Amino acid sequence: MIIVFIILFVILYYLSLSRASSRQGYYNFDSIFLFIFLFIRIIHAIISEESNIHKQLPGIIRKAVIEDVTPMKDLINSYAKKEIMLPRSVGELYENIRNFYVYEENGEVVGCCALQVVWEDLAEILSFAVKPECTGMGIGSMLLDASIEEGKNIGVKRAFTLTYVPEFFERQGFSKVEKASLPHKVWVGCIKCPKFPDCNEIALLRYL
């Protein structure tokens, strides 16, 4: 539906221009009004479609529980094998289970995200993963929103992440920052990374 509106929008735009030029500068107001109407409909359709994504998802966002540890480990480490995420052991996940939200669908953990306080009013978004076949459905945005909201509730003022996919986080209000601007405590976990110290992840920060 959105594509149809966009095509009509472009066609009408060029028609209005051609008519205006053929009439020596006099605009066809019927075309202009219809042009504005279609523009408004396109914006409305885009907003409606984005807001309906969450409503159409059959699963739920919830706090992680003990029984989620194994599927979370499998999901996170499937990305770690591709060297795009730090691996997590079962022990680490048990110790930090309270930091996690998961997206569950039909009894299966499809995505997870953790928010870990690292310094005063600063927290890190980490172990953020969604099954490849389920990306692009809004699950990641829902997980991130839940984690950010929890951070706000406990007094976190800033959240950062280290990632190879900055575009997603920039759409969520994060901005790129220099890694050197982050506290040294942040790099403790990086020692386990096979790419350390030549990590090329991008640091992004968001004020909450």
What is the CATH classification number for the domain harbouring 155? 3.40.630.30
Find out whether 143 and 126 touch, Cβ atoms under 8 Å. Answer: no
Mean pLDDT on 180-203: 72
Find out whether 127 and 90 touch, Cβ atoms under 8 Å. Answer: no
Are both 140 and 68 inside the same structural domain?
Answer: yes
* Contact residues for 3 (Cβ-Cβ < 8 A; gap 6+): none
pLDDT at 196 over 70: no
Are both 65 and 52 inside the same structural domain?
Answer: no
Tokens coding 86: 């730090």
Are both 74 and 29 inside the same structural domain?
Answer: no
pLDDT tens-place string over residues 65-78: 999 999 999 999 99
Are both 20 and 69 inside the same structural domain?
Answer: no
pLDDT tens-place string over residues 115-147: 999 988 999 999 999 999 999 999 999 999 999
pLDDT at 27 over 80: no
pTM listed for this prediction = 0.71
Distance from the Cα of residue 181 to its chain's centroid: 23
Amino acid found at 156:
V
**H helix runs in the chain, sequence order:** 2-22, 29-56, 69-80, 90-95, 139-153, 166-171
Q: What percent of the chain has pLDDT over 90?
A: 58
Range of the domain at 65: 60-207
User: Where among 13, 40, 56 does a domain terminate?
Assistant: 56
* Contact residues for 155 (Cβ-Cβ < 8 A; gap 6+): 121
Q: What is the pLDDT of residue 179?
A: 87
Are both 47 and 93 inside the same structural domain?
Answer: no
